[in-house]
C-alpha cells in the first residue's frame, strides 16, 4: 500500500498538469461565445460600428473647423527687425568726400484686431536707428519712434457683422449639418442591427424547426423499419420515408448555411472580429420576437417624422446655409468702398552734434549732447505732434463676372434645396405610411399564422392516431409533418417581420435616439 500511495503521489500531480494544459488548450481552441440581447447589440454597435466611427470623426472635424474659423478674431501680434547698410560715392560737396555710408536698424511691433463690422484696428510702434558719415548732420546717430493707430473699415462690400463672420457662421452650419448626418447614420445603424439580429433569430429558429422535422422523419423511419420486419407494412413503404429523411437532411445543410450568413452579417455590423477570427466567434441571442401591439395614427406619425427625422433636418439646415450664401453673394456685388483713418505720433532723438563756430558745413565737431531711443519713445508717447489722415477708396469693377457667377450659383443652390426639401418630406410621409400599414398587415399575419400552426399541430396528431389504427399511411404523416414545419416557420417569420416593421417605423419616425436616450458624445467611443 505504501508503494501504491507513493506512486499515486507522483502520478496525480502529473495528471493535474496534463489536465490543466489540455483544458487551457481546449479553451484557446474553442470558439469565443458572446450572449447578446437586442439592446446590448445596439449599444455595442454604437460604440464599435466602423461606419458610425467614421461619421463621428467627420463631426469632430466639423467642430474643429469652427475653432479654426474663430482664429481670425483673435488678436495678432507681429514683430519685425531689419538692418540696412548703404554705401555710395558722394555726389555733391556738402557730403563727405569719397564714399559715404548709412546704417539703419529698424524695429517694429504691431497689435491688430478684427472688429465685428468687418474692419481692422491696429496699434503699431516703429523705431529707427540712423547712423551716417555724411557731413552737416545735426543728429547722428539719430533715433526716430512713431506710434501709429490705423483703422480700416469696408462700408459697402464686406460690411456688416454677418458678412464679416461668414467663415464662422458657415463652419457652425456645417457642424450642425454634420451632427444631423451623424444622427441619421445612428438611425441607419440601429435599424441594421435590429434587422441583422432578428434575421439571425429567424435563421436559428428555422434551423431548430428543420432539426425537429428531421428527427420526426428519422423516428418515422425507425418505426417503419420495425413494422416492415414484423410484416405490418410492405417493404416499399420505407422508400418514401427514406426520401423524406434525405430531403430534410439537405434542408438542414441549407439552414445551417443561412445561420452562418446571418451571424456573420451581425458580427460585421457589431465589428466583433475580422478575418479568420470572425468565424471563431459564436453569437448567442437572448431575445426572441414578441408580439407587442401598438396604436398610432397616420397623421400623428407624419407629424412626428417631420419634427424628428435627421435627414429632413439636414436639408433644412442646408437651406439655411444656402440662404446665407446667397446673402453673402449679394453683398459681393456691391462696389468696394473702404475707409482708412490713421493717426501718427512721432518722436525724434539722437546725439546732438556741436560744430566749430556753430557751422555744420565746416565738418569740425567739437562736442555732442547724447540722446537715446528712450527719449524718442517718450516724445512719441506725449503726442506732441498732431498727424492724421482720412481716406476713402471707391473701387468699381468694370465687369465683375466672378461675383455675378457666384450669386447665380447661390440662388440656384437655394432653389434646388427648397425643391429637395419638398421631395424629401413627401418621401418621408410615404415611408411613414408604408411603415404604419406594414405594422397593421404583419399584426394580422401573426395571428393568422398562429392559427395555422395550431391547426397543423392538431392535424399531425390526428394523422398519427389514424396511422396507429391503420387508417393512414406514412405518406400522409410525413406530409402533415411538413405542413407543421412550414407553419412554424411561417409563424416565426411573421413575428420577425412584425418586429422589423416596428424597427422600421421607429427609423422612419426618427425616434430611435430619444427612445433610447442616446448621447451623441458617447457614440463611437470605446
pLDDT tens for 94-146 read 656 567 788 889 999 999 999 989 999 999 999 989 888 777 777 888 889 99
Which of 209-213, 241-245, 273-277, 309-313 comes out lowest in average pLDDT? 273-277
130 DSSP β-pair partners: 104, 142
Cα separations in angstroms, 49 against 192, 416, 524? 11, 33, 7
pLDDT at 22: 40
- Across 430-455, average pLDDT: 91
- Looking at the predicted structure, is the pLDDT value of residue 432 above 70? yes
- Asked if residue 426 is part of any domain, the answer here is yes
Tell me how many domains the chain contains: 2
What's the pTM? 0.76
User: Domain boundary at 375, 395, 415, which?
Assistant: 395
- Asked if residue 244 is part of any domain, the answer here is yes
- Across 256-278, average pLDDT: 81
**CATH code: domain of residue 261:** 1.20.1600.10
- Asked if residue 400 is part of any domain, the answer here is no
- Asked if residue 369 is part of any domain, the answer here is yes
Which of 228-232, 372-376, 497-501, 510-514 comes out lowest in average pLDDT? 228-232
pLDDT at 278: 57
- Asked if residue 26 is part of any domain, the answer here is no
Grid coordinates representing 117 are 463690422
With cut-offs at 50, 70 and 90, classify the pLDDT of residue 206.
confident
428/314 same-domain check: yes
192/61 same-domain check: yes
- Pick from 499, 502, 505: which is nearest to 304 by CA? 505
| CA–CA dist 11, 16 (Å, integer) | 9
- Looking at the predicted structure, is the pLDDT value of residue 505 above 60? yes
pLDDT at 210: 85
Cα separations in angstroms, 325 against 44, 61, 164, 418? 40, 21, 13, 14
User: Domain boundary at 395, 427, 443, which?
Assistant: 395
Residue written as cell 395571428?
447
Grid coordinates representing 412 are 440656384
Average pLDDT of the residues of the chain: 84
Are residues 459 and 332 in contact, defined by beta-carbon separation less than 8 angstroms?
A: no
185/46 same-domain check: yes
| CA–CA dist 496, 206 (Å, integer) | 12
Range of the domain at 352: 78-114+119-157+339-395
Which of 3-7, 225-229, 269-273, 521-525 comes out lowest in average pLDDT? 3-7
With cut-offs at 50, 70 and 90, classify the pLDDT of residue 367.
confident
Q: What does residue 35 show for φ and ψ, rounded to 5 degrees?
A: -105, 130
497/446 same-domain check: yes
- Asked if residue 162 is part of any domain, the answer here is no
pLDDT at 69: 86
pLDDT at 364: 72
- Asked if residue 332 is part of any domain, the answer here is no
- Looking at the predicted structure, is the pLDDT value of residue 388 above 80? yes
- Asked if residue 12 is part of any domain, the answer here is no
User: Domain boundary at 349, 366, 395, which?
Assistant: 395
Cα separations in angstroms, 115 against 110, 112, 119, 120, 391? 16, 10, 5, 6, 19
pLDDT per residue as tens digits for the range 476-488:
777 788 888 888 8
pLDDT at 97: 55
111 DSSP β-pair partners: 77, 123
pLDDT at 365: 73
254/279 same-domain check: yes
412/505 same-domain check: yes
376/479 same-domain check: no
Amino acid at each position: 500500500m505504501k508503494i501504491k500511495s507513493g506512486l499515486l503521489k507522483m502520478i496525480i500531480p502529473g495528471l493535474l498538469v496534463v489536465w490543466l494544459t489540455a483544458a487551457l488548450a481546449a479553451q484557446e481552441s474553442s470558439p469565443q461565445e458572446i450572449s447578446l440581447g437586442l439592446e446590448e447589440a445596439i449599444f455595442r454597435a454604437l460604440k464599435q460600428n466602423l461606419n458610425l466611427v467614421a461619421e463621428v470623426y467627420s463631426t469632430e472635424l466639423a467642430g474643429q473647423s469652427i475653432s479654426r474659423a474663430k482664429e481670425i478674431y483673435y488678436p495678432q501680434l507681429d514683430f519685425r527687425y531689419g538692418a540696412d547698410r548703404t554705401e555710395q560715392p558722394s555726389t555733391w560737396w556738402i557730403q563727405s568726400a569719397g564714399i559715404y555710408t548709412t546704417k539703419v536698424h529698424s524695429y517694429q511691433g504691431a497689435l491688430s484686431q478684427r472688429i465685428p463690422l468687418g474692419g481692422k484696428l491696429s496699434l503699431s510702434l516703429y523705431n529707427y536707428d540712423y547712423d551716417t558719415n555724411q557731413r552737416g548732420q545735426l543728429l547722428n546717430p539719430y533715433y526716430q519712434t512713431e506710434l501709429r493707430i490705423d483703422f480700416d473699415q469696408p462700408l459697402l462690400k464686406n460690411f456688416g457683422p454677418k458678412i464679416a463672420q461668414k467663415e464662422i457662421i458657415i463652419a457652425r452650419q456645417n457642424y450642425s449639418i454634420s451632427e444631423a448626418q451623424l444622427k441619421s447614420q445612428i438611425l441607419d445603424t440601429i435599424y441594421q442591427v435590429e434587422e441583422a439580429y432578428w434575421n439571425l433569430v429567424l435563421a436559428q429558429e428555422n434551423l431548430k424547426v428543420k432539426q425537429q422535422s428531421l428527427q420526426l422523419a428519422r423516428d418515422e423511419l425507425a418505426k417503419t423499419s420495425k413494422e416492415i420486419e414484423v410484416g405490418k407494412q410492405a417493404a416499399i413503404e420505407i422508400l418514401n420515408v427514406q426520401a423524406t429523411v434525405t430531403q430534410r437532411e439537405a434542408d438542414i445543410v441549407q439552414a445551417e448555411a443561412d445561420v452562418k450568413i446571418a451571424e456573420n452579417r451581425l458580427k460585421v455590423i457589431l465589428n466583433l472580429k475580422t478575418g479568420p477570427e470572425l468565424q471563431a466567434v459564436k453569437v448567442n441571442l437572448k431575445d426572441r420576437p414578441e408580439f407587442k401591439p401598438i396604436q398610432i395614427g397616420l397623421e400623428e406619425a407624419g407629424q412626428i417624422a417631420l419634427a424628428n427625422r435627421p435627414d429632413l433636418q439636414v436639408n433644412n439646415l442646408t437651406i439655411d446655409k444656402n440662404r446665407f450664401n446667397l446673402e453673402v453673394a449679394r453683398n459681393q456685388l456691391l462696389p468696394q468702398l473702404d475707409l482708412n483713418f490713421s493717426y501718427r505720433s512721432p518722436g525724434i532723438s539722437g546725439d546732438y552734434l556741436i560744430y566749430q563756430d556753430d557751422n555744420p558745413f565746416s565738418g569740425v565737431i567739437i562736442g555732442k549732447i547724447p540722446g537715446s531711443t528712450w527719449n524718442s519713445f517718450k516724445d512719441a508717447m506725449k503726442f506732441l505732434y498732431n498727424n492724421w489722415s482720412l481716406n476713402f477708396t471707391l473701387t468699381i469693377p468694370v465687369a465683375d463676372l466672378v461675383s455675378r457667377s457666384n450669386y447665380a450659383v447661390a440662388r440656384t443652390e437655394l432653389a434646388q434645396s427648397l425643391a429637395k426639401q419638398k421631395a424629401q418630406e413627401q418621401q418621408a410621409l410615404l415611408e411613414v405610411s408604408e411603415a404604419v400599414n406594414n405594422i397593421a398587415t404583419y399584426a394580422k399575419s401573426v395571428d393568422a399564422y398562429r392559427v395555422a400552426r395550431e391547426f397543423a399541430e392538431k392535424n399531425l396528431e390526428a394523422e398519427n392516431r389514424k396511422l396507429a389504427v391503420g387508417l393512414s399511411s406514412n405518406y400522409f404523416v410525413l406530409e402533415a409533418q411538413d405542413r407543421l414545419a412550414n407553419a412554424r416557420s411561417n409563424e416565426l417569420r411573421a413575428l420577425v417581420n412584425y418586429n422589423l416593421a416596428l424597427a422600421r417605423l421607429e427609423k422612419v419616425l426618427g425616434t430611435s435616439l430619444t427612445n433610447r436616450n442616446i448621447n451623441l458624445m458617447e457614440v463611437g467611443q470605446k
